[in-house]
Chain A
Amino acid sequence: MAYGYQQYDSNGDEIVNSSTPVLTIVKYDTITITLYKNAAFGNTTYNYSLPGVTSQADLDDNYIIEEAGGGGFSLFVTNSSYGITFVSNGVIQFNGSGGCSDIFGNPGQCTALDVQTKTYNIYTIGETV
């Protein structure tokens, strides 16, 4: 090895050799967001700082935004995942707006009860050590 970085364990087995790119998958952050379905009652979007993200394709290919926990069960709010989109370099947006329904599942008018709190785990994949 003419240059670079090598690392061995105490048995002399190689752990890292920088001549071969080492890719990672890492849990970067966990965030909890509360969004309304209708802007008349509160925020429907949330902008999140995600350093390094450069485009929607980059977000799709190199990050995993995982909704944590169960979907919940409520008579009053139809559970639905937030839309997640690229906004600008280093910023993505969670969007909770959407249609509302009554307790029988029929389309209805949104109220202040149509609000969801969700937790997301954010993973980065493919970064080179």
Chain B
Amino acid sequence: MSYGIEVFDSVGATVFNSNMPIELAAFNGTVVGTDEFSSAPSGTQLLTLPDYLFGDDQHGYTVAGEDHTVFQPTSSYPTYSNNKQIAFDITNITQVSFSGLNFVVAEGAPIIGSMLRTTSGTDIDTVASATLAGFTGDGSLVSHYTNAYWLIEVTSANISSHRVDNATKVSHRYDDSFKTDMIYYARPVSSSYSGRFRLEISSTNRTAAIYDATGGNNSFEIMVAMKASDYGSITSSTAHQLAGNMSYGLRAVTAADQKYSANSTAEPHLTFESATYISKAFLTKGYSGGTTGTNSTQSLGSLSTSSNKRWCRMNSTIRYKVQNVSPTNFLWYVYYQWNSNNSISLSWRHGATFFVLSSTMNSKAPYAVVEFGDGV
């Protein structure tokens, strides 16, 4: 064991090993259920997911940045109207004519939204605008640009100290390829609830909703977890530390040459942190759904009687099979059938009519009942 935490029992057997993959809870909230057959979710039926869950703060920069030279005037100095502005050289300027009109094409401006950085890699601020300035006449001829420059304005920082003639700044575009894998768990708030429900996610609006086949007035708790390596990527917030904070407790991080999976990047990543809850699976099953047109149930196994709250792993309930019998076009889902905290199974039923071409359930998908600890 080259990193992490391992705990042995009195005969030397491992009872805890932080190298084993785990899920850590990063967010929880409550949402009012949406009636499966009568409405679309809105208002309190939508739970807004915070940005930190999506890996937004892990956006790096593209490998190659673009250099910009701070403008060195040969006659008059650039005219700045505020301290967020800086002038860059125009790298190339050409003239084109089209339908008798002259156009000037200038190059060398940074991309709007890119991060302006120093050559040593220190962030300055994001580029908010880039306009041509310092030209003469109407700007329609290349000759008008002898002393012209790109007037750059950043979003909010005072960058007047960077106005050093001929200095180099680098604009870097963001690389937003990193995305976390969020695992959604849900359970009814009321201990007397009995019914079936499924999850709906809007990636565009970053919201979660629960479709409830028993009606639309039941409230549900939602817990969002993610594998430890993704959880560890959250650095913009401490809101994901649901059980405490890191001023005490344990954290295990791998060495820089470790991979989470065969395809992942070798990098240091979190494997365990005591500041939040671990998803502890009590029942697990791979299930590919039933036959469209026929209701069925599927056992997940039996649960012992416990007052600890049980949670249903909801990601796979967004999948469906299409019942292509015109004009029905029912979508068939795997719902969690919740009879009580100690009795949970899967229910194969159809939802409302919806027209799509193909099913999204072509294989087994995971379903599980978990606990997160005595307090949640």
Contacts and interface: CB of A to CB of B under 8 A. Distances in A.
Contact of A70 (B244, B359, B368, B372): B359
B364 interface: yes
Contacts of A122: 261
Contacts of B260: 28
Nearest to B315: A27
Nearest to A49: B262
Contacts, number: 146
A25 B181 contact: no
A124 B281 CA distance: 12
B373 A65 contact: no
B373 A4 contact: no
B29 interface: no
Interface stretch (B12-20, B103-111, B125-133): B12-20
Interface of A: 2-5, 7, 9-11, 13-16, 18-19, 22-31, 48-51, 64-67, 69-73, 79, 81, 120, 122-129
Interface residues of B, number: 53
Most buried by B among A28, A64, A69, A125: A64
A10 B360 contact: no
B365 A71 contact: no
Nearest to B262: A49
A112 to B, nearest CB: 23
Contact of B262 (A23, A26, A27, A51): A51
23 contacts: A4-B15, A7-B249, A9-B243, A9-B375, A10-B245, A15-B374, A19-B15, A22-B280, A23-B282, A24-B279, A25-B23, A25-B368, A26-B22, A27-B183, A28-B260, A65-B363, A67-B363, A71-B362, A79-B358, A127-B21, A128-B17, A128-B20, A129-B278
